[in-house]
Amino acid sequence: MVLAEIGASFPSVIKPVQRLTFKDKAKWTLIILALYFLMGSVIIWGINPDAVVEFEFYEIIFGSKMGSLITLGIGPIVTASIILQLLVGSKILNWDTKTPDGKAKFMGTQKILAVTFCFIEAIAYVIAGAIPPAGGGALIAFLVILQLAFGGIIIMFMDEVCSKWGFGSGISLFIAAGV
């Protein structure tokens, strides 16, 4: 599959060479948590923060904060994972995820789908008016979409760092932080 080949060459967080100590895992988890909160306080350039639609329940569930760099939260990652699990589970994609090759295909494709969903969701937020660009120009809207997608991609890499270098998954950490 073409997506699996592209995904294999996509940037990735490498696993630690040796087993990490509790202190090292705690350090990386706290760094990721601090970055998450920092990104949540950075308002997207080019929007009117007063016009941003607030979805309090949505923000808790998806680990997001509307109008900030973490607006997309874990949504693109979870959506990509669910769709890919359905395709593999129903044998539409006949991959054996118990083999290293099958795992690599799954993870690479999931990453490409997550990045794609970052852009799709960013476009949807802007077009639907949940994150309205100030000034209404096409260039401003495009820059808002890029910032939203960039924030989602950074969240994806932060999830990877937490999964490989910290405790648990970044997705769980971001949901807990949102609560």
pLDDT tens string 114-171:
999 999 999 999 998 888 898 778 999 999 999 999 999 999 999 999 999 988 888 8
pTM equals 0.88
Which class for 56: exposed (0-12), middle (13-18), buried (19 or more C-beta within 10 A)?
Answer: exposed
Residue 26: predicted pLDDT:
93
Residue 159: predicted pLDDT:
93
Q: State the helix-helix crossing angle for 138-165 and 22-41, rounded to 10 degrees.
A: 170
Q: State the helix-helix crossing angle for 138-165 and 75-89, rounded to 10 degrees.
A: 70
pLDDT tens per residue, range 2-55: 666 676 778 888 888 899 899 999 999 999 999 999 999 998 998 887 777 777
Residue pair 29/40 in contact (Cβ under 8 Å)? The answer is no
Residue 29: predicted pLDDT:
93
